[in-house]
Amino acid sequence: MKVLVTGGAGYIGSHAVLRLHEDGHDVVVLDNLFRGHREALDAIDPAIPLVQCDLGDTDTIAAALKEHGVEAVMNFAALAYVGESVEQPLIYYRNNTAGVISLLEAMRNAGVRKLVHSSTCATYGEPATMPITEDTPQAPINPYGASKLFVERVFADEAAADKDFAYAALRYFNVAGSDPQGRIGEDHEPETHLIPVLLNTALGKRDSATIFGTDYDTPDGTCVRDYIHVCDLIDAHVTVMNALDPRKPDRKEMIFNLGTGHGFSVKQIIDAVKKVTGVDFTVKTGDRRPGDPPSLYADPRKIKDALGWEASVKDPETMAQHAWAWFQKHPDGYGG
């Protein structure tokens, strides 16, 4: 299949490019390289076509879809920092909401009617009960979550208006790990994800790591989150892409949570990273961050029941080990 991967030079998107390329698909990447890395694509195959533009450039996207004969789109092109979304909401709505509408317009113009979209558990906000199912009320508490929720409604309306349009919205929990062979990895600036922060601390790039809140109503007082290996995440995308079929009611609109169904606390993740790295780095405690729920973890049964998919990696040590291997080779990220 010929697949356009938007945001394909980013952390998750590049892992999608790698998997699709290895599976024999013809891959085209669209990325503005604002936070993506051309080096990630070069590590996979320098010959992979890159269209460098924003999601809002409808005409350029439509032309690329036609030129390369694209049959399906995987969309990972998103801004994804919660704090930044609170400080600069307009850029989140411009990219994550208006940009996706532009992508849909380009797809319609080019006759491409299959879309697998990167959504988020942030659309659920602070659920009252765990685990989170796809029927849990969506009540985002920040512009990032809201920007993602809005386009889910747009997808539903587009699917109702066009019998040939099929889409999937995949609501991620915490993504971790990297390619087990160490070809590509995670390189954000700034870095806010827990495991990379801890690995950078183990490398000596940070003096210490901080636990934000130790008095939550959880087994050890720290926040509990569901972590999914990035390669499992992409495996789910490929499974869903292959299943999309506008002629079948249960395959025309698919919404799934992607997680393991099990939560790990911040302290458990710290212990796992210390074990993997062999470094007893300094960990400090700080105040709670506003809007941090005590626990967030998925009920992933819907995708298993529908498509037979479930995560293969369910322990944080394996996720940390795969990420650590890449971090050791690239202590300064793709630029090092």
Is 6 a domain residue?
yes
- What is the residue type of 209? A
Q: Given this model, what pLDDT does residue 336 score? A: 62
Q: Given this model, what pLDDT does residue 190 score? A: 87
Q: Which of 92, 93, 124, 144 is catalytic?
A: 144
Percentages helix, strand, coil for the chain (3-state, rounded to 5) are 45, 20, 40
Check whether residue 275 and residue 309 sit in a common domain: yes
Check whether residue 74 and residue 150 sit in a common domain: yes
Distance CA 240, CA 167 (A): 9
Q: Given this model, what pLDDT does residue 290 score? A: 80
Q: Given this model, what pLDDT does residue 293 score? A: 85
* Backbone angles phi and psi of 158, in degrees to 5: -65, -40
Check whether residue 320 and residue 206 sit in a common domain: yes
Q: Given this model, what pLDDT does residue 1 score? A: 96
The total number of structural domains in the chain stands at 2
Residues 6+ apart with CB under 8 A from 146: 123, 140
**What is the CATH number for 14?**
3.40.50.720
Check whether residue 150 and residue 273 sit in a common domain: no
Does the pTM surpass 0.75? The reply is yes
**What is the CATH number for 329?**
3.90.25.10
Cite the DSSP H helix spans in the chain.
11-22, 38-44, 58-67, 82-87, 89-92, 99-110, 143-161, 194-202, 230-243, 249-252, 266-277, 301-307, 316-329
Distance CA 126, CA 293 (A): 6
Check whether residue 211 and residue 240 sit in a common domain: no
Q: What is the mean pLDDT of each run of 10 residues along the chain (336 residues)?
A: 98 98 98 97 98 98 98 98 94 98 98 98 95 97 96 98 98 97 94 95 97 96 98 98 97 98 98 98 94 91 98 98 97 85
Is 189 a domain residue?
no
Check whether residue 113 and residue 165 sit in a common domain: yes
Quick one: 2 exposed, middle or buried, by C-beta within 10 A (0-12, 13-18, 19+)? middle
Check whether residue 152 and residue 206 sit in a common domain: no
144 annotated active-site: yes
Q: Given this model, what pLDDT does residue 292 score? A: 84
Distance CA 209, CA 270 (A): 9
Domain assignment of residue 81, given as a range: 2-176+227-258
Is 24 a domain residue?
yes
Check whether residue 210 and residue 71 sit in a common domain: no
Is 182 a domain residue?
no
Per-residue pLDDT tens over the stretch 169-199 = 999 999 999 999 999 999 998 899 999 999 9
Q: Given this model, what pLDDT does residue 13 score? A: 98
Quick one: 129 exposed, middle or buried, by C-beta within 10 A (0-12, 13-18, 19+)? exposed
Is 184 a domain residue?
no
